[in-house]
Chains A and B, each alone.
Chain A
Amino acid sequence: MQKSPTDKAVYSRSGIELKSFYTESDIPQEHRSRVTSNPGDAPYHRGFHPSGYRSKPWRIFQLSGFGKPEDENERIKFLLKNGETGFIMEHDRNTGDHCYNVDHPEVVARREDVGLTGAVMQSIRDTAICMDGLPIGSSFGHAGGAVVQHAPFALASYWTVAKQRGFDLEKLPGTGQSDFNLTYLGCVTKEQIPTQPGLRFNADIIEFCDRYLPYWVPVSIAGYNAADTGLTPDQELGVLFANAVEYLDEIRRRGSVDLARAARACGGVSFRASIEFIEEACKMRAARLMWADLLHKRYGISDPKVANLRIHCVTAGSKMTYQQPLNNIVRGTLMALGAVFGGVQSLGVSGYDEALSIPSEHAHQMSVRIQQILQEETGISNVTDPLGGSYYIETLTAQLAEKAWIFFDEIQKQGGYLAALDSGWLHACASENQYQEFMDMERGDQQVIGVNCFKDDGSPFEVDGFMGTDDAFDVATQRLKEVLRTRHEAGAASALKQLEADCRSDANIMPAMMEAMSAEVTLGEIGDVYRDVFGNWDTPIQT
């Protein structure tokens, strides 16, 4: 929220003008009837279930990963021991996001960076090390594969290891994200498949999970990645649903999966919880409202099991400051509070050292502790939708939904979500906002404690960053050689050939990907097939 003199208009982050207080008459007419609905009832803005967190606490779900697969495995076990209730297996960005093996020249040129933001997993042997002893049957696992081109590999390798260990895929819980906002908007890689084959990959994953992994969330649209790239809360909502209809329209076109089941599969999403936590709580409420509305109007779906959006939330990494990093513990707590007020099902809190590095063990532990204190000490779980009925909350919820639909429509005018990515239109929106935010801070219009006001004179280095391990590249190089030397070469070659053939045809690529995993085909070999078959996305650089 902007700091302004009393006579000046005040706006929320979404650009909604705020009154100094609200009364019943401010609640938009069409929203009034909804205010009296109960949590668990359509249109669900009041929450997923009437008993809320009493019957099901939110999942404590922290992003984690670095170094060698065994380093990552150790950290995940540490988090689980400390009370995390799901786990996330991050893959190294250099190799994973790009589908490169460690011997790729672009990776070798940056060998020291390897393993910095996730473990290097180039074949199922690596994945198996990372998964060693993890409670994959009972705990919700994130297999990695946040970037679209990486997802089929990350998922298939996780599933293959699970199968080899005797787990029944029919019962396996988890997700892999495969998010377009990350891939094509927030974290654009050096080279990657274009959006059209990306859409195909995600539809393939949805189909495959529908058939073989009913408890798996096949794709998870992340508003977070759009928001932390600069989109405002209303735009984050609009873009998320514009993305969702792209998936569902494709599934409808294919006609291979029951549309309601596909909608259920796409209804596990994530949002960013930023520091303006009241607006953020309203955003989660508006999201549920919008999803129910969208499914009903566009697809004729109103089954509560489908129309009830499940939300994972991550606190805003970009709001964590470099200066006075311990302040970030407070920021993380407030952002988490907003998410919980919004009734999310799952939550990750950024480490207080987020602006410095990937989380240290201590920062990670604090992120878990913040959530545990909220769950166990504050009593916040006792009552569902504690803010429901507030004039302000209900008004802002309705206004956010309305503004988000406008942005949704604008995206449709651009030719739809994929077209708005391909043309760079969304990047321009995000870039404009982030620049304005930056300038607001530079000018001091937006005060950030410890950054542009209440600064310390002393050294900012009261907390040191965490640098992981330094042998990830060497070990990965050894392991790559080892797998290439000892695998059954003819089997690997034929599996890779089948995968390529399927990529070139209209077939679902996942069965061939599963075969390729069993045959120990490596990540970089798969990436080479993609690059050959699909080419590179033409990144829309704004000039």
Chain B
Amino acid sequence: MGEPTTQTLLKSAVEGERSSLARLLSKIERDSKVENEIRTSLAGGQATSLVIGITGPPGAGKSTLISALLSHTTASYEKTAVLAVDPSSPFSGGALLGDRVRMQSHGLGDRVFIRSMASRGESGGLARATSTAIQLLEACGWPLILLETLGIGQVELEVMDLATVVTVILNPGWGDTFQANKAGLTEAGDVFVINKADKDGAQQTRADLQDSLSLMHSPVPIQIFDTIAVKQDGVESLWQGIKDYLKDAQAVGLIEQKLLSRRRRLLMRILQRDFDDRISAYWRSDRGGNQVLSTLAGDLTIEALRNDLFAHMTKLD
């Protein structure tokens, strides 16, 4: 008995078999061909699931907040999937993924699906396969997907492309330590959370944040919530706030706009990935290798190399 084909797994996953979904997620992480196959198979589907991006600096409490949100999200949407992205080691390629430690005591059984993902060298806060993973979860009937970004502190704007609503988690004192990222994070967010709000400086952080947000021109009012996720404090209000945001955004057509941009972005990514793969293949081929050497030796201009690449990349697969 060999390994089932991608299509067999896909059929079974869409019918609700968790282990097939899990196996497919591994396959798309490992193999961009499978990823493309899945993308293509699911391309016609509507983006129907609600994707909530959870981003913010490391240690802000993203996992804990997700864990606290699960009982509320499953009350509204019945089921919730979580994709939690953690950084890969640039040296070994390995990773330690710790989000489940905080998330798994939800007691909601099969209604929650949690999947850890290593970034595998991607910058931007997500993994290469994240967007396809979301597509797949949608196709498998997960109506709500919580997407936790790396949180390594840099601006992680990619989450904006995938999420219907982006929740930014900050802590008191954030303004002092994350000065450089202020603009990026405030730009990314639709809903803001000051977690660990019982710590010193919460008031100041709120004021700082309001300052930064006043420069933004959002068609929908942007709210700031105080939470103490470890105590569940403020989590219910936050969930209500996210739902309110969605309602307001729906009313002004923002959701539709976001869904469209998400699908455009997905399409763009498919092409981009395909393009990247073809460039790599050209680079590794005998022809490409020789052309590159000639260019390095000064026998060929970069312009000529580019033309040769365009002429021959389509023939490679």
Write the residues of chain A forming the contact surface with B, with a CB cutoff of 8 angstroms.
190-191, 194, 423-424, 534-543
Identify which of A424, A538, A540, A543 contacts B86 (C-beta below 8 A). Answer: A543
> How far, in angstroms, from A540 to B196 measured CA to CA in the complex?
14
Q: List 20 A-B contacts (CB under 8 A).
A: A190-B105, A424-B59, A534-B231, A535-B228, A535-B232, A535-B233, A536-B230, A538-B61, A538-B229, A538-B230, A539-B101, A539-B102, A540-B59, A541-B98, A541-B102, A542-B96, A542-B98, A543-B95, A543-B96, A543-B97
Closest CB of chain B to A425's CB: distance in Å?
Answer: 10
Return the CB mask of B58-99 against A: 1 if under 8 Å, else 0: 010100100000000000000000000011000000011110
Q: Is the CB of A535 within 8 A of B231?
A: yes
Question: B96 to chain A: which residues have CB within 8 Å?
Answer: 541-543
> How far, in angstroms, from A424 to B105 measured CA to CA in the complex?
21
Question: A540 to chain B: which residues have CB within 8 Å?
Answer: 59
3 nearest A-B pairs in the assembled complex, by CB-CB distance: A535-B231, A541-B98, A535-B230
Closest CB of chain B to A90's CB: distance in Å?
Answer: 26
Question: B86 to chain A: which residues have CB within 8 Å?
Answer: 543
Given contacts A536-B230, A539-B101, A543-B98, 7 further A-B contacts (CB under 8 A): A424-B59, A534-B231, A535-B230, A537-B230, A538-B229, A541-B101, A543-B87
Closest CB of chain A to B120's CB: distance in Å?
Answer: 14
> How far, in angstroms, from A45 to B135 measured CA to CA in the complex?
67
Write the residues of chain B forming the contact surface with A, with a CB cutoff of 8 angstroms.
59, 61, 64, 86-87, 95-98, 101-102, 105, 228-233
Question: A423 to chain B: which residues have CB within 8 Å?
Answer: 59
> How far, in angstroms, from A236 to B93 measured CA to CA in the complex?
33
Question: A543 to chain B: which residues have CB within 8 Å?
Answer: 86-87, 95-98
> How far, in angstroms, from A534 to B231 measured CA to CA in the complex?
6
> How far, in angstroms, from A194 to B232 measured CA to CA in the complex?
14
Closest CB of chain A to B260's CB: distance in Å?
Answer: 35
Question: A535 to chain B: which residues have CB within 8 Å?
Answer: 228, 230-233
> How far, in angstroms, from A402 to B33 measured CA to CA in the complex?
59
Question: B87 to chain A: which residues have CB within 8 Å?
Answer: 543
Closest CB of chain B to A246's CB: distance in Å?
Answer: 16
Q: Is the CB of A538 within 8 A of B102?
A: yes
Closest CB of chain B to A299's CB: distance in Å?
Answer: 24
Question: B233 to chain A: which residues have CB within 8 Å?
Answer: 535
> How far, in angstroms, from A41 to B232 measured CA to CA in the complex?
53
> How far, in angstroms, from A538 to B231 measured CA to CA in the complex?
10
Closest CB of chain B to A200's CB: distance in Å?
Answer: 13
Question: A542 to chain B: which residues have CB within 8 Å?
Answer: 96, 98
Using CB atoms, name the residue of chain A closest to B98.
A541
> How far, in angstroms, from A537 to B231 measured CA to CA in the complex?
9
> How far, in angstroms, from A539 to B96 measured CA to CA in the complex?
15
Question: B230 to chain A: which residues have CB within 8 Å?
Answer: 194, 535-538
> How far, in angstroms, from A194 to B228 measured CA to CA in the complex?
12
> How far, in angstroms, from A87 to B183 measured CA to CA in the complex?
60
> How far, in angstroms, from A543 to B230 measured CA to CA in the complex?
20
Question: B231 to chain A: which residues have CB within 8 Å?
Answer: 534-536
Question: A537 to chain B: which residues have CB within 8 Å?
Answer: 230
> How far, in angstroms, from A191 to B102 measured CA to CA in the complex?
10
Question: A538 to chain B: which residues have CB within 8 Å?
Answer: 61, 64, 102, 229-230
Question: B97 to chain A: which residues have CB within 8 Å?
Answer: 543
> How far, in angstroms, from A537 to B230 measured CA to CA in the complex?
7
Closest CB of chain A to B102's CB: distance in Å?
Answer: 7
Question: A424 to chain B: which residues have CB within 8 Å?
Answer: 59
> How far, in angstroms, from A538 to B101 measured CA to CA in the complex?
10
Closest CB of chain B to A5's CB: distance in Å?
Answer: 29
> How far, in angstroms, from A535 to B95 measured CA to CA in the complex?
29
> How far, in angstroms, from A191 to B98 measured CA to CA in the complex?
16
Question: B59 to chain A: which residues have CB within 8 Å?
Answer: 423-424, 540
> How far, in angstroms, from A536 to B61 measured CA to CA in the complex?
12
> How far, in angstroms, from A538 to B96 measured CA to CA in the complex?
17
Using CB atoms, name the residue of chain B closest to A531.
B231
Question: B98 to chain A: which residues have CB within 8 Å?
Answer: 541-543
Question: A190 to chain B: which residues have CB within 8 Å?
Answer: 105
Closest CB of chain B to A459's CB: distance in Å?
Answer: 35
Using CB atoms, name the residue of chain B closest to A191.
B105
Using CB atoms, name the residue of chain B closest to A194.
B230
Question: B232 to chain A: which residues have CB within 8 Å?
Answer: 535
Closest CB of chain B to A359's CB: distance in Å?
Answer: 31
Question: B228 to chain A: which residues have CB within 8 Å?
Answer: 535
> How far, in angstroms, from A316 to B96 measured CA to CA in the complex?
28
Using CB atoms, name the residue of chain A closest to B150.
A543
> How far, in angstroms, from A536 to B233 measured CA to CA in the complex?
12
> How far, in angstroms, from A538 to B229 measured CA to CA in the complex?
9
Question: A534 to chain B: which residues have CB within 8 Å?
Answer: 231
Closest CB of chain B to A111's CB: distance in Å?
Answer: 19
Closest CB of chain A to B114's CB: distance in Å?
Answer: 15
Using CB atoms, name the residue of chain B closest to A105.
B107
Closest CB of chain B to A68's CB: distance in Å?
Answer: 29
Question: B61 to chain A: which residues have CB within 8 Å?
Answer: 538
> How far, in angstroms, from A424 to B98 measured CA to CA in the complex?
13
Question: B102 to chain A: which residues have CB within 8 Å?
Answer: 538-539, 541
> How far, in angstroms, from A191 to B107 measured CA to CA in the complex?
15
Using CB atoms, name the residue of chain A closest to B86.
A543
> How far, in angstroms, from A537 to B61 measured CA to CA in the complex?
11
> How far, in angstroms, from A433 to B231 measured CA to CA in the complex?
33
Closest CB of chain A to B119's CB: distance in Å?
Answer: 11
> How far, in angstroms, from A228 to B71 measured CA to CA in the complex?
38
Closest CB of chain B to A435's CB: distance in Å?
Answer: 12
Question: B229 to chain A: which residues have CB within 8 Å?
Answer: 538
> How far, in angstroms, from A543 to B118 measured CA to CA in the complex?
11
Using CB atoms, name the residue of chain A closest to B151.
A543
Residue from the set B61, B102, B228, B231 with the largest chain A CB neighbour count within 10 Å: B231
Closest CB of chain B to A512's CB: distance in Å?
Answer: 20
Using CB atoms, name the residue of chain B closest to A196.
B198
> How far, in angstroms, from A541 to B87 measured CA to CA in the complex?
13
> How far, in angstroms, from A537 to B102 measured CA to CA in the complex?
10
Closest CB of chain B to A271's CB: distance in Å?
Answer: 30
Question: B64 to chain A: which residues have CB within 8 Å?
Answer: 538
Using CB atoms, name the residue of chain B closest to A422.
B59
Closest CB of chain B to A427's CB: distance in Å?
Answer: 11
> How far, in angstroms, from A539 to B230 measured CA to CA in the complex?
10
Closest CB of chain A to B275's CB: distance in Å?
Answer: 32
> How far, in angstroms, from A535 to B98 measured CA to CA in the complex?
20
> How far, in angstroms, from A542 to B99 measured CA to CA in the complex?
10
> How far, in angstroms, from A541 to B102 measured CA to CA in the complex?
9
Question: A194 to chain B: which residues have CB within 8 Å?
Answer: 230
> How far, in angstroms, from A501 to B315 measured CA to CA in the complex?
75
> How far, in angstroms, from A155 to B105 measured CA to CA in the complex?
30
> How far, in angstroms, from A537 to B229 measured CA to CA in the complex?
10
> How far, in angstroms, from A317 to B223 measured CA to CA in the complex?
52
> How far, in angstroms, from A423 to B61 measured CA to CA in the complex?
11
> How far, in angstroms, from A353 to B233 measured CA to CA in the complex?
46
Closest CB of chain A to B145's CB: distance in Å?
Answer: 21
Closest CB of chain A to B137's CB: distance in Å?
Answer: 23
> How far, in angstroms, from A537 to B233 measured CA to CA in the complex?
14
> How far, in angstroms, from A190 to B229 measured CA to CA in the complex?
16
Residue from the set A190, A423, A535 with the largest chain B CB neighbour count within 10 Å: A535
Closest CB of chain B to A198's CB: distance in Å?
Answer: 13
> How far, in angstroms, from A424 to B59 measured CA to CA in the complex?
9
Using CB atoms, name the residue of chain A closest to B152.
A543
> How far, in angstroms, from A542 to B96 measured CA to CA in the complex?
8
Question: B101 to chain A: which residues have CB within 8 Å?
Answer: 539, 541
Question: B95 to chain A: which residues have CB within 8 Å?
Answer: 543
